[in-house]
Amino acid sequence: MAGGRPRTAFVTGAAGFLGRHLVTRLVGAGWDVTGFCREGDRIDLLPAATRIAMGDLLDRASIDRALTGLDEPVVFHLAGNTTTWSQQRAAQWRDNVGGTATLLESAPRAGARRLVYTSSISSYGWQPGVRLREDSPSNVETKGDNYGRSKRAAEHLVHRAAAAGALSTVTLNPVNILGPGDVSNWARQLILPVANDSLPVVPPGHASWIAVHDVVDAHLAAVDAPLAGTNVILGGVEASFLEVVRTIAGLLDKPVPAAATPRPQLVALFAASQVKAALTRSEPELSLAKYRRATGDLVVDDGLARRMLGLGRTSLEDMLAATIDWLREVDLLPAPASGERAR
């Protein structure tokens, strides 16, 4: 707090997985928080002290209304369209690029001095075997997916605003996020299928994993960090998908897989998924983006985040255990059996 007054935050994507964690931390730290939400968002899951502003990032008037009266807010731009379905490319581009452009026009007029933009490691493209750094060239235009391209394009807008002196910015690029509150990403793709003995494949790839509370810590540190107009990669624990699945199985007392699914078998499943999607005109279960993620080798150098933001490194077992405990609390997983290992 400055001069006894609480600091002010404006958070887009406030009702999302990461957004809920960030808003909860900000409220707990005494900030005045406005959560910018869309119709259908689970605003009931946000702290009672949160000021809810309904609107759409593509509607400048709704953003201006939400920002009216805020005292030099710090803007946390978390909202994003993460679909991997090719038929949603145009909508994803509008949401991620157009929405960012609109916000960047409104925020300076409202007196915002700092914008923390949550991008993704996907903005660097698909570079298996390359340890990515902030200054690594991106191949997203030729090797990435539409999500990565849209996030990269939005990053360019953020950097341009910083260079023009409109406001100070920091762009954060987290790797795969794990933690309580996740119901649509890794919990759905890995944890719940292992629990239900229905995991179709064990991906043969390797990736980096970060706990959601470490990502939130980095966002808070980025507010006053002596950084401006730059990217910061938020890395974590490096582990193969096989190791992740084995850790989940161990925590749930489920059979531990002996090996990852062979790549030729995964290729066949990918082809079958594309055929089924074409016939049913529905989103494929295994998109090209998901296939690349499952077979790739995502490793990063997160030294900048550790030096400048104090980024922590939660163990893989701890972040998976926290997610599993939360899934049980909300009755998405049964309570542990009597013989299950206590944590």
Residue 233: how many CB atoms within 10 A of its CB? 24
Kindly state the percentage of the chain with pLDDT values over 70. Answer: 97
| Per-residue pLDDT band at 184 (split at 50, 70, 90) | confident
Name the one residue in this structure whose structure tokens are 């990669």.
233
Average pLDDT taken over every residue of the chain: 93
Q: For the chain, what is the total number of helices (H) and then of strands (E)?
A: 14, 12
At the topology level of CATH, where does 8-182+210-236+299-315 sit?
Answer: Rossmann fold (3.40.50)
Check residue 342 and give its pLDDT.
Answer: 46
Q: Which of 203, 221, 220 is nearest to 286 (CA)?
A: 203
Q: List % helix, strand, coil for the chain (3-state, nearest 5).
A: 45, 15, 40
- Domain extents in the chain: 8-182+210-236+299-315
- Residues 312 and 319: their CA atoms lie apart, in Å, by 12
Q: Which of 156, 54, 67 is nearest to 113 (CA)?
A: 67
Q: Tell me the DSSP string of 206-261.
A: EEEEEEHHHHHHHHHHHTTSS--SEEEEE--EEEEHHHHHHHHHHHHT-PPPSSPP
Res. 239: pLDDT tops 90: yes
Check residue 123 and give its pLDDT.
Answer: 98
Check residue 338 and give its pLDDT.
Answer: 61
Res. 38: pLDDT tops 60: yes
Tokens of 245: 């699945």
The predicted-structure confidence for 108-143, as pLDDT tens digits, reads as follows 999 998 999 999 999 999 998 899 999 999 999 999
Least confident of 52-56, 254-258, 284-288, 338-342: 338-342
| Per-residue pLDDT band at 340 (split at 50, 70, 90) | low
Long-range Cβ contact pairs of 288-294 (< 8 A, separation 24 or more): 288/84, 288/86, 288/145, 289/84, 289/145, 289/147, 290/84, 291/266, 292/126, 292/145, 293/203, 293/205, 293/207, 294/201, 294/203, 294/204, 294/205, 294/241, 294/266
pTM, rounded to two decimals? 0.94
CA distances 74 to 42, 59, 177, 198, Å, are 23, 20, 23, 43
CA distances 132 to 71, 197, 242, 300, 307, Å, are 37, 35, 22, 4, 17
What is the mean predicted confidence (pLDDT) over 171-200? 94
Check residue 288 and give its pLDDT.
Answer: 72
Sign of CA dihedral 193, 195, 197, 202: positive
Kindly state the percentage of the chain with pLDDT values over 90. Answer: 81
Name the one residue in this structure whose structure tokens are 């409220």.
27
What is the mean predicted confidence (pLDDT) over 316-341? 88
- Residues 12 and 281: their CA atoms lie apart, in Å, by 31
- Residues 237 and 318: their CA atoms lie apart, in Å, by 11
The predicted-structure confidence for 270-322, as pLDDT tens digits, reads as follows 888 888 878 888 887 777 777 778 888 999 999 999 999 999 999 999 999 99
Check residue 145 and give its pLDDT.
Answer: 92
Q: Are 172 and 234 in contact (CB under 8 A)?
A: yes
The predicted-structure confidence for 206-236, as pLDDT tens digits, reads as follows 999 999 999 999 999 999 999 999 999 999 9
Tokens of 304: 């900048």
